[in-house]
Structure 1
Amino acid sequence: MDSTLLKGLTVLEHIAASDAPRGVSELARALQLTKSNVHRTLQTLVAAGYVRATPSGTYECTLKLFELASSVLSRVDVRQVAERFMRSLAEQTQETIHLSLLDKAEVIYLHKIESAHPVRAYSSIGGRAPAYCVASGKALLAYQEGALVHLSDPLAAHTSRTITDLDTLRQELEQVRVQGFAINRGEWREGVCGLAAIVHDAMGKPVAAIGISGPADRLDPTALRRFSDVVVDAARGLSRALGYNPIALAPRPVRIGGLGAFV
């Protein structure tokens, strides 16, 4: 193992995670390195373009890290990354698992794993469904409310349980944001229920929804409550695998003219 490279990466990661530029002395204390070692490392990082010195003598990251991360993210295949989370969810629930995207007023099934049960929810990869009628669609709409402009009012009814009023749908989407998951109570197909949660990418954007669907006699209210935690955990795990870090993306308090503000 190259200890010099490891120290350099440790210094770089610490500066990147800091909410303000860092000086040589405080980096040395925080990382338990000598000041001369930290100084040499910083000069190397400056020469490589990853760090720059500020007028006050401290150091901060440049946008080169963002450029590298962007090129990596552009190659990330959500479907490929989701595979292991979907399979784990299938094992835990024994129901059909969907990975869905939002396209205007519809969800598209990007990937799926069939339930082993002979009686199960039927769908096809590339298939579509009205977003306001299915759990994955509601999860996506809850975090992309701009998509509501593509919906009519009243909404078309597909079953006796379909939400047909836009204001009622907005109230349910608010509940989705509060509880962290969405439920379909037979609103798209009679006797078929589902549960889904949102997936975020590294920039915090909602990019997909992962969820389960199956017959209403298996996915009754008790089962849906029981499976809500595992579905949310799968969505969070997939989000983390895509680089999502809600703490890093949270607004940070700063002082402006003696007043507190968030940026």
Structure 2
Amino acid sequence: MNNTLVKGLAIIELLAHSDRALGLTEIAIELDLGKSNVHRLLQALVEARFILRDERSGRYAAAIKLWELGSAVLSKLDLRVHAEQIMDELLALTQETVHLSVLDGHEVVYVHKLDSPNPVRAYTQIGGRARAHCVATGKAMLAFFPPPVLERVSQQLEARTPRSITDPQQFLQEMARIRSQGYAINKGEWNENVCGIASPVSDASGQVVAALGLSGPKERFKPAQIKAFAPLVVSAAARMSRQLGARTSLPALR
């Protein structure tokens, strides 16, 4: 692959994931590149409208063009097409925010969501990310990974809240429980005030490709309510799996 292209993409990815604008020196240090090289790449990316430069501070940030491109891709994903009606029905049944997520490394990416009509609800955005081991959709997908993969993940757990699972043995036990019951629960592990429940979605090959879930304020996700939501979420995820060509349910969902 063209080396200049790779460096330019690295800059775009760095700025897209940064929660603030970055200066030339910061970018060069973060990517271990020469400042003159980075400066040339930044100029080209600004001209192409992939990034913006603040004239007063001289700092750089990702441009809306990245969102436009990402939205164009997301709108074409088969997952969203298959999920739309199912998510509508799940929202109508539960009145809680419905998420469709996929995995990207150790993070989940929210590819679609329907907001709860309640004034107090969980706030996320399409394209947003979260650590997979801290949210229900992420745990629902991770649980069906091969044991060697789960073992590696268990050694790289970071806390987001006091409720986040960071102990490797506890994490592996949680994965086994999810496989057994067919759904995962987030008990304030990403945001202390937000809980969730999710179930995995598989494709025609039997691979887990996504997760469908609900999230909302912890006051509305008490154990009794989670117990009531569980069969609805599992059923919705199983329906979506069948629409994607899955011929058999995942072992835990049969």
Using structure 1 for the length normalisation, give the TM-score: 0.63
Shift of 1:222: 0.8
Q: What's 1:103 paired with?
A: 104
Q: Is the 8 A contact 1:110 1:126 kept in 2?
A: yes
Q: What's 1:128 paired with?
A: 129
User: Taking every aligned residue pair, what percent have the same amino acid on both sides?
Assistant: 50
After superposition, the C-alpha distances for 1:83-103 in whole angstroms (9 at most, x for unaligned) are 011110000110000000011
Shift of 1:76: 7.2
Secondary structure, counterpart of 2:92 in structure 1: helix
Task: Write the letter of the residue equivalent to 2:79.
Answer: V
Q: Is the 8 A contact 1:180 1:197 kept in 2?
A: yes
Runs (5+) with no aligned partner, structure 2: 1-75
Q: Distance in 1 between matches of 2:185 and 2:160?
A: 16
Q: What's 1:141 paired with?
A: 142
Shift of 1:243: 1.1
Q: Distance in 1 between matches of 2:117 and 2:152?
A: 36
Q: What's 2:161 paired with?
A: 159
Q: What's 1:178 paired with?
A: 180
Using structure 2 for the length normalisation, give the TM-score: 0.65
Aligned length: 175
Q: What's 1:112 paired with?
A: 113
Q: What's 1:89 paired with?
A: 90
Q: Is the 8 A contact 1:141 1:173 kept in 2?
A: yes
Q: Distance in 2 between matches of 1:218 and 1:134?
A: 17
Q: Distance in 2 between matches of 1:150 and 1:129?
A: 18
Q: Is the 8 A contact 1:105 1:147 kept in 2?
A: no
1:224 and 1:154, CA in 2 relative to 1: closer, same or farther beyond 3 A? same
Task: Write the letter of the residue equivalent to 2:195.
Answer: C
Q: Distance in 2 between matches of 1:140 and 1:195?
A: 12
Q: Distance in 1 between matches of 2:154 and 2:106?
A: 9
For the aligned residue pairs, the C-alpha RMSD in angstroms reads 2.0
Q: How does 1:1-263 map onto structure 2 within 5 Å?
A: 77-145=78-146, 147-148=149-150, 151=153, 153=155, 155-246=157-248
1:86 and 1:122, CA in 2 relative to 1: closer, same or farther beyond 3 A? same
Shift of 1:104: 1.0
After superposition, the C-alpha distances for 1:188-217 in whole angstroms (9 at most, x for unaligned) are 001100000000111111110000000000
Task: Write the letter of the residue equivalent to 1:84.
Answer: Q
Q: Distance in 2 between matches of 1:78 and 1:154?
A: 29
Q: Distance in 2 between matches of 1:148 and 1:180?
A: 17
Q: Is the 8 A contact 1:154 1:165 kept in 2?
A: no
Runs (5+) with no aligned partner, structure 1: 1-74, 251-263
Shift of 1:151: 3.6
Q: Distance in 1 between matches of 2:154 and 2:77?
A: 34
Q: Distance in 1 between matches of 2:156 and 2:143?
A: 18
Q: Is the 8 A contact 2:183 2:200 kept in 1?
A: yes
Q: Distance in 2 between matches of 1:137 and 1:240?
A: 20
Secondary structure, counterpart of 1:224 in structure 2: helix
After superposition, the C-alpha distances for 1:140-161 in whole angstroms (9 at most, x for unaligned) are 0001245546646362211111
Task: Write the letter of the residue equivalent to 1:127.
Answer: G
